[in-house]
């Protein structure tokens, strides 16, 4: 009996992705699994069920040691660590606005490390924007783009920059009470 996949024009060993009938690469599944695992960490009561669901949905192995999660495939592995303080090896050249660190994570995959930090700042969006547009160049970052979005109470700013092989995205979102959410994403470009 022929494998059901052959009826659809692909061999037994291939998996079909949702988008455009393209084969989903293991690295795409690894990235999806990493994001799912980060979300699962925040829900401790459901952690084992979520971990098992990620493994079944993606075909990758997930290991959780309590402080980090490692996702393994035949092509490599990614380790994700989360917390409420800056990750180890977070680039010192990245300005972090004063405020409460809501979440911070690092992910290592394929020998590269990516960082994400979310800060709740007590200052308004314009003040925080001025800080980043001054501090980033002062620390050697070359600003590539600044994009202001929205109006009124639904404003945001995206700033992208590069420095010595790194890329940095700073997303600012206006919050109620004159506060600002700062999201920093930094990694190899």
Domains of the chain: 1-78 (no CATH), 84-189 (3.40.1000.10)
DSSP for 133-187 reads: HHHHHHTT-EEEEEEEE--TTS-EEEEEEEETTEEEEEEEEEEGGGEEEEEEEEE
pLDDT-derived band of residue 141, with 50, 70 and 90 as boundaries?
very high
pTM of the model: 0.65
| Torsion of Cα atoms, 33 then 35 then 41 then 47, to 10° | -30
| Among 46-50, 81-85, 142-146, 178-182, the least confident range | 46-50
Note the pLDDT tens digit of each residue in 47-56: 566 666 666 7
Q: 33 or 148: which carries more pLDDT confidence? A: 148
CA distances in angstroms from 136 to 84, 149, 174, listed in the order given: 23, 20, 20
Backbone torsion region of residue 59, taken as left when φ is above 0, otherwise alpha when ψ lies between -120 and 50, otherwise beta: left
Note the pLDDT tens digit of each residue in 17-57: 333 444 445 455 555 555 555 554 454 445 566 666 666 76
**pLDDT > 80? residue 66:** no
Give the dihedral sign, CA 107/188/20/5: negative
């Amino acid at each position: 009996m022929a494998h059901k996949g052959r009826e659809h024009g692909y061999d037994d060993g291939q998996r079909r992705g949702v988008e455009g009938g393209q084969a989903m690469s293991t690295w795409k599944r690894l990235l999806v699994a990493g994001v799912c695992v980060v979300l699962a960490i925040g829900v401790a009561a459901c952690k084992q069920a979520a971990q098992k669901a990620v493994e079944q949905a993606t075909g990758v192995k997930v290991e959780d040691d309590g402080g980090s999660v490692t996702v393994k495939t035949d092509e490599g592995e990614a380790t994700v660590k989360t917390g409420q303080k800056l990750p180890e090896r977070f680039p010192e050249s990245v300005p972090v606005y004063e405020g409460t660190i809501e979440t911070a994570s690092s992910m290592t995959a394929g020998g590269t490390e990516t960082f994400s930090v979310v800060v709740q700042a007590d200052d308004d969006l314009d003040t925080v924007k001025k800080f980043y547009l001054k501090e980033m160049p002062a620390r050697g970052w070359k600003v590539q783009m600044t994009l202001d979005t929205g109006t009124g109470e639904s404003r945001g700013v995206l700033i992208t920059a590069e420095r010595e092989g790194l890329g940095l995205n700073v997303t600012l979102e206006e919050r109620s009470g004159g506060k600002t959410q700062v999201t920093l994403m930094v990694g190899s470009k």
